[in-house]
Amino acid sequence: MTYCIKTGCLDPKNDNAARFCKSCGSKLWIRDRYRVIGALGRGGFGATFLARDQRLPGYPACVIKQLRPTTDVPNLLDMARNLFQREAKILGKIGNHPQLPRLLDYFEMAKEFYLVQEYVSGSTLQKEVKESGLFTEVSVKQFLKEILPVIQYIHSHKIIHRDIKPANLIRREQDQQLVMIDFGAVKDKVSQPTVDPTDQAALTAYAIGTPGYAPPEQMAMRPVYASDLYAIGVTCIYLLTGIPPKDLPYNAQTGELLWQERISVSSHFSQVLVKMLDISVHKRYQMAEEIIRDLEVEPYLDSLAQNLSFATPGPDTNNQPSTQPTKSTQPTTRTSRSARIAATIRARKERRLNNSTHYKGKERRLNSSTHYKGVERRRRKKYTAQSLIDAYAKGYRDFSDQILTQLDLYKQTFADARFAKANLREANLTSVDLSNTNLGQANLTRAILKNAKLVSAYLADANLEGADLRGANLSKANLDSAKLDGANLCGANLTGATLSDAQLATALTNWSTIQVDGRRSLLQKIF
């Protein structure tokens, strides 16, 4: 179908090959290049259409935004035009980020403005909640892990999005990454008021944002970086409750949303949400990295609670008494609680990243003794699905050698975890996020990995015989010497994956399977 975008056209639907509208006679192809195939949305300032670029091979899909105000008031026309030009400028400035849509074209024609950008195929988080149900605390934390670096990137370019909400966050179909769309409300050129050089207030000519997601200072035309963080906090509440903010009760005196009784999350995560949603902009998180830091600290709070009540030990690493003055004799040597937590986290990460030197000193002696083997045996246990999910939520990442057969882990997140030599036979891993996960030598016989995210996963020597990998994203995964006999790879994405033709020949593929070189398979195997 070719769609007519002429205002007032009574029958905009035309045949694919049509070049002029059969109803109103208008020219159909925009700029003799873009063939509109349907409408995506309409608003006071214009409309959005899905189109195909007829000049490029394969006629790739794209999104066309047309400035079409429904008013003749000069001031409103100027405002609409300014917003549209601003969006084009911003997309051109920051659109090279993989989780932001790219600007493809921008032009004016017949006193109307057109913006062409990358089409993101997938479902919005709003649709995801309605169709698949509420997010768990673990899922919301994973959402924050994915989206906060994007916000950090936007803010680093001195840009405030101002319309972050579930409907403007799309989970891209091909790689399951979150993509932030709709930059029509952005504010760039953050200005520094002379009254306070530390204030990040950005004065703007228009109060823009979605009611409920926009904080008070934004609706008062004074958005700051923290305004976007408030919107992310409200989005978290929606993901956990499925209730739009306009339907949530609020404190009539302060305007604060009352959400605590509607969700059940850990104490620490509740405190993070409270700080994100503080009505007072001065008490709220100021930058995305502050939230990231607090989320990274959470898994270590229980184990560090006792240690943090003491002063940081001296530099001696041989378990000798410290020669540094005690807290009572030299209080100025005390370090802050967050600094001590950060130091401990860094130390733990370094130990995990260097397995070859992990067992130095006393631990090295354990490695060569039968006692160490006993320790390893005691570490192995029979996880349930919930206990595994809970362990990951608390920060545990190493599940090597564990018995995890037939566990139902549908749509969970275990990114960056270790399942080396783990037994995951017949486990339900449908739509599970296993990005950057170590599954080397794991037993995944007849495991269900349909639509699983295995980007950059390590699967060398893994047993995937009879596994269901339909639609799985295995881009850049290492499948060296993995057993793929009878594995169903129909529709899987193997772009950049490490595996041989001989391995692939033992698996089931079809025309929609994306090969290592990024091309779709020409063969269809039916067994």
Q: Domain containing 263 — which CATH number?
A: 1.10.510.10
Let me know whether 225 and 110 are in one domain.
Answer: no
What is the number of domains present in the chain?
Answer: 3
Question: 146, 177 in Cβ contact below 8 A?
Answer: yes
Let me know whether 130 and 214 are in one domain.
Answer: yes
Rounded Cα distance, 466 and 43, in Å = 50
Residues in the chain with pLDDT values less than 50: 188-207, 306, 308-335, 355-379, 523-527
Asked, for residue 350, whether it belongs to a domain, the answer is no
Q: Which residues pair with 3 in a beta bridge?
A: 13
Residue 163 among the catalytic residues: yes
What torsion, rounded to 10 degrees, do the Cα atoms 355, 356, 362, 363 define? 40
Question: 497, 486 in Cβ contact below 8 A?
Answer: no
Cα 30–chain centre separation: 34
Residue 278 domain boundaries: 123-298
Let me know whether 265 and 183 are in one domain.
Answer: yes
Let me know whether 8 and 85 are in one domain.
Answer: yes
Let me know whether 402 and 514 are in one domain.
Answer: yes
Q: Residue 484: what pLDDT?
A: 95
Let me know whether 91 and 215 are in one domain.
Answer: no
Q: Residue 169: what pLDDT?
A: 95
Question: What are 82-86's contacts with CB under 8 Å, separation 24+?
Answer: 82/205, 83/45, 83/184, 83/185, 83/206, 83/208, 84/45, 84/46, 84/113, 84/115, 84/184, 85/113, 86/186, 86/188
Give the domain-ending residue among 251, 269, 298.
298
Let me know whether 83 and 189 are in one domain.
Answer: no
Let me know whether 170 and 68 are in one domain.
Answer: no
Q: Residue 321: what pLDDT?
A: 43
Let me know whether 496 and 401 are in one domain.
Answer: yes
Amino acid at 168: N
Give the tokens for residue 238: 């929606």
CATH number at residue 504: 2.160.20.80
Quick one: which of 365, 362, 410, 356 has its CA closest to 388? 410
Let me know whether 34 and 127 are in one domain.
Answer: no
Asked, for residue 478, whether it belongs to a domain, the answer is yes
Give the domain-ending residue among 118, 141, 161.
118
Question: 214, 192 in Cβ contact below 8 A?
Answer: no
Let me know whether 140 and 199 are in one domain.
Answer: yes
Out of 78, 105, 163, 517, pick the active-site residue.
163
For the entire predicted model, the pTM comes to 0.57
Question: 465, 482 in Cβ contact below 8 A?
Answer: no
Let me know whether 458 and 418 are in one domain.
Answer: yes
Give the domain-ending residue among 94, 118, 142.
118
Rounded Cα distance, 129 and 244, in Å = 11
Enclosing H/E stretch for 500 = none
pLDDT in tens, 93-112: 887 888 998 889 988 887 77
